[in-house]
Structure 1
């Protein structure tokens, strides 16, 4: 079977590329299909692709950001036309704001995908943020000759998406297809560490505490179904309490975006597992876990 390098085709604030070496040891050793309801840049999916392909398994990928899912569908179904159209873009501030101001309702799917790709590659820090009307409003980014069209990366991504189902919508869509023995990875907008670090407004409706509690219920339902469930989130008391009784790990991540430059750099994040260590890629079955009594069903 021919191997080819696969990596994210968009920049993504909070993407997992730089911490895959830490996350990967907690992936389950064995699983059937793969589900990622907060697709974003898809670093974990691309990392797992060869394994998914070798299993002849399927990936179910979704996100609430319709423009990102549309981009991935176009990459899957018509990557060559996307490449051709996107090569016409130029890195220029005035041009950027003209493209940003376009009404997506007047564009076809390929034009929308090309617009999303361009904005992602040239906006500030690869952020995805919209206003109350759902309009993308991230400012122009200051770069030196940014690569807007990476043909090899786009074509390789197109090959990976042939084995994927792509959905735009709420994370609860995972309940439709997840079965016992499947691996589900949740990477939601993080619970803010402080009022000034709230970056949950990716869509016009921010992902709030009620959504995190709803996600916890889905996490538990998937566990009861027999899925291997893994979740990333911030190292906060709220998250630790919400997932008390689960197998919680602490990892080091790099936080590049913060209004306070002194707070950028290494930071602790949590990885929550519904399964014990001996089910992980590199398990330590001798470790003991504390079970939660009452409330939401315990993980372990």
Structure 2
């Protein structure tokens, strides 16, 4: 009998392209029997934390993000204590934001670095994790009255889940993260999306971006997974380019509201696709 999921295990960060609003479309498509769950672009982890697999390989190119997951698992009480020291003030915000531009940043403890990411995420404009081409966090201060910087209940619930389960965290290339996948595994892929228009090209949560060459490389990885009999489910934007790339598989079009555009009138419902290679 499957272990009951804990509803308090949920995303602790707001992330670009987060899947919370599409969980009801995605969840029924995930196979019930999975030996190992793989998610090579975990981001805010909405699908992973909703599914709560007992065994998983979780990866993201963003090393600071993966450090947050590992710190929640290994040092949640120290993290909560560190988060309580932060102030919701512009001058303080910019001093914390600037740390990754200064010497000694790499010497900061994993707890201080994780605390910094959560604090900036909760207090920055639009709760948007964004880095420049040098990998430096560059979102401005959000001016919220009472941001929920410390959600102790959720952090402890996620920590308990990670400690009770066999979860391996990696920070690197998606292809590397999938090398151990075997038949019986399941792979959920949520890469940076193919831009709907030139102005909407949002790949700023890791340095280096994710262009169409990368989308083509990802499609080749999907073909290899398929040839090994490994089930995958992929999310992306419903552009002609993506629909053409995955025409050999089942494509389900869904709507998701998006709020990362700086122009309010351009936020709202956008079409996305869910691609799968199984019934």
Q: Is the 8 A contact 2:90 2:143 kept in 1?
A: no
Contact 2:40–2:178 (Cα < 8 Å) also in 1: no
Name the residue aligned to 1:136.
Answer: 137
TM-score (norm 2): 0.93
* Counterpart in the other structure of 1:105: 106
In the other structure, the counterpart of 1:122 is: 123
Residue pair 1:13, 1:125 contacting (<8 A) in 2 also:
no
Instruction: Give the match for residue 253 of structure 2.
Output: 250
Distance 2:181 2:80 in 1: 33
Check whether the contact 1:32–1:181 (CA below 8 A) recurs between aligned residues: yes
| Structure 1 runs of 4+ with >4 Å offset | none
1:151-190 matches, within 5 Å, as 151-162=152-163, 163=165, 164-190=167-193
Question: Post-superposition shift, 1:117?
Answer: 1.0
**Residue from 78, 83, 94 that aligns with 1:86:** 83
CA apart distance, 1:29: 3.2
Once residues 65 and 3 of structure 1 are traced to their aligned partners in structure 2, the CA distance between those partners, rounded to angstroms, is: 27
Give ranges in structure 1 of 5+ residues lacking alignment: 277-300
- 1:27 pairs, out of 26, 30, 33, with 30
1:144 CA drift (Å)? 2.4
For the pair 1:203 / 2:206, whether they are aligned, the reply is yes
Deviation of the 1:39 alpha carbon = 0.7
2:39 maps to 1:42 = no
Tell me whether 1:148 sits opposite 2:169 in the alignment: no
Alignment partners' CA distance in 2, 1:224 and 1:43: 28
**CA RMSD of superposed structures (Å):** 1.4
Task: Return closer, same or farther for 1:40/1:242 CA change in 2, 3 Å cut-off.
Answer: same
Deviations 1:26-72 (A, max 9, x none): 112322211110010000011101xx2xxxx4111110000000011
C-alpha deviation, 1:178, in angstroms: 1.2
Equivalent residues, number: 270
- Are the equivalent residues in 2 in contact too, given 1:71–1:116 (CA < 8 A)? yes
Secondary structure at the aligned position of 1:136 is classed as coil
Which structure has the bigger radius of gyration?
Answer: 1
Following superposition, the deviation at residue 141 of structure 1 comes to 1.1
In 2: Cα distance, 1:111 partner to 1:64 partner: 20
User: Is the 8 Å Cα contact of residues 183 and 230 (structure 2) preserved in structure 1?
Assistant: yes
Contact 1:196 1:259 in 2 (8 A): no
